[in-house]
Chain A
Amino acid sequence: MSAAQTPLDRTPSGTRDVLPDEMRELRAISERIRRVFEDAGYGEVYTPALEHEHTFRRLGAAGAQPSYRVFDEHGSVLVLRPDVTVPIARLAATRYAHSEPPLRFCYLEHVYRGVRPQRGESREFLQAGVELLGVGGPVGTAEVLGVLCSALDAAGLRDYRIGLGDATLHPTLLDAFGVSRQRRDSILTELAAGDFVGADRQIHQLGLAPDDADLLMRVARTRGGPEILEGQPPALHEALAGLRETHAMLEPAAAARLIFDFGLVRQLGYYTGAVFEVYDPGHGMPLGGGGRYDELLGSFGRPLPAVGFALDVERVHIALAGEERGRPRVGGGG
């Protein structure tokens, strides 16, 4: 047999080697982002790639689910981290158990997820993120959104926008209409999956007045500038007041990047307030996102309000290349 390649010579599906040209660009982007985080007072931490499985079990189904499990030499089950927010919650509750909040951390770490076939998804990808622990409500959210915009500016993106919503909007509204918990969760699942046709059908089966059912769907489809925060149903006033305050606290350049989006529902279940996602015409998928998770640290015994985000560095790189090509993939009709 010749020295022909056997299947074992390839990297596993969903993984790849990074060669020098790409590596230089990725390093440059990462370094610019890291500098922004550090300058904003977020100290860089590194948590282990391997964690105890029960660290991620604390959240039940609400958190990112580990896809890779290994046994150590004592038979304990370890997992490859599927996100960094949970390890930082653990770190804050153990290593900073008696420190005076607020705590500010940033990280550049690879996370490990399962992939769906033929989507160019990665089993291992680099996240750049921050966590702000101990600052609640609009103040903390606005600070982190400011850092996010500075990081994207430093990375070199010109045309990005930030979608901003609130995880409590739809639950609050459905509760206000007296929808049962089971029905409510079923509708929220449809909205999270982006199936507005299914959500519409379920809402119209609730037996509400037609105007009320239409209102629920209209809210889910509402996105735009700060003007959409006005004239909404009273049940939403508290959440919308929070978004309005957040908007008012931002620097004008960052505020101009916002798209308010009442239909924005993040996949992870631990968000308790503001949620956001980063969009750029250079990439067909969000570049990253985050939000408030005021109850996560409590499950590690250190109750503190918290907010954070993570950027997918490879997607930021692809979006940059897309912007440079001058022919964005999204909306590129000509």
Chain B
Amino acid sequence: MSALRIAVPRGALFGPTLDLLDAIGIDTTEVRRNDRRLLFEDSGIVTMRPSDVPTYVEAGAADIGITGKDVLMEQSERELYELLDLGFGRCRMVLASVAGPDRAAEALRRLGVVRIATKYPKVASAHLLATGRQAEIVEVKGSVELAPLTGLVDAIVDLTATGTTLRENGLEVREEIAVCTARLIVNPVALRLRAPEIDALMERLGAV
């Protein structure tokens, strides 16, 4: 049978993911050498945006994939198996607002609603709902930090690794929603039909 097809995320998780694949004996030289190619037949690697990884894995276009828990939380309705916490790519999903007196709290107290900008609308609304607050979610695609600085919103929900970008833009973390790390996900059909290969891979990953 052919090699497992592995969906690998570009972006912050790209380097550590390739290092991990090297460590378990999957050759990534070609992937590192070629910045524009997307599909590598020999190693079975396909590269894509982290948020596309669940799409490919759920449909079976990739057997397994690696992506952040933040992506999986936002796409929680996907039918796939989350088998392993890989530990790297550690980030925090936080609620932050402009440093100083908390505008979000003031908006809630006086206006009854807090406006939140985020790339994670489902995670943000679930968190605000669970903590009993009325929220208006504003979905943005680019730099979320800009939204509270311009008065578009009262606060943001976003992922932060070190907090540097938040601090440099004068934002302060108010609440931590979740800690997110890279996860290994598997297609439900591949989990059964490719069980020996997937179990062997899990074993090697466990040994790293």
Contacts and interface: CB of A to CB of B under 8 A. Distances in A.
Sorted from nearest, which 6 A-B pairs have the closest CB atoms?
A: A284-B60, A333-B2, A194-B81, A333-B3, A334-B2, A333-B44
A161 B193 contact: yes
B189 A196 contact: no
B82 A285 contact: no
Given A197-B183, A259-B195, A331 B79 contact: no
Contact of A196 (B41, B60, B83, B195): B83
Interface of B: 1-5, 41, 44, 58-61, 63, 77, 79-85, 183, 187-195, 199, 202
B3 A286 contact: no
B188 A195 contact: no
Contacts of A197: 82-85, 183
Interface of A: 116, 119, 161, 163, 194-198, 200, 221, 223-224, 259, 261, 277, 279-281, 283-286, 329-334
B2 A330 contact: no
Given A198-B82, A285-B189, A331 B4 contact: yes
A126 B59 CA distance: 20
Contacts of B5: 331-333
A332 B189 CA distance: 13
A279 B189 contact: yes
Nearest to B3: A333
Most buried by B among A194, A280, A286, A334: A194
A171 B103 CA distance: 47
A140 B154 CA distance: 61
Given A285-B188, A333-B41, A196 B81 contact: yes
A283 B60 contact: yes
Nearest to B185: A194
Given A331-B2, A331-B194, A332-B5, 10 more contacts: A194-B82, A196-B81, A221-B202, A279-B188, A279-B192, A280-B189, A284-B189, A286-B189, A331-B63, A333-B2
B93 to A, nearest CB: 16
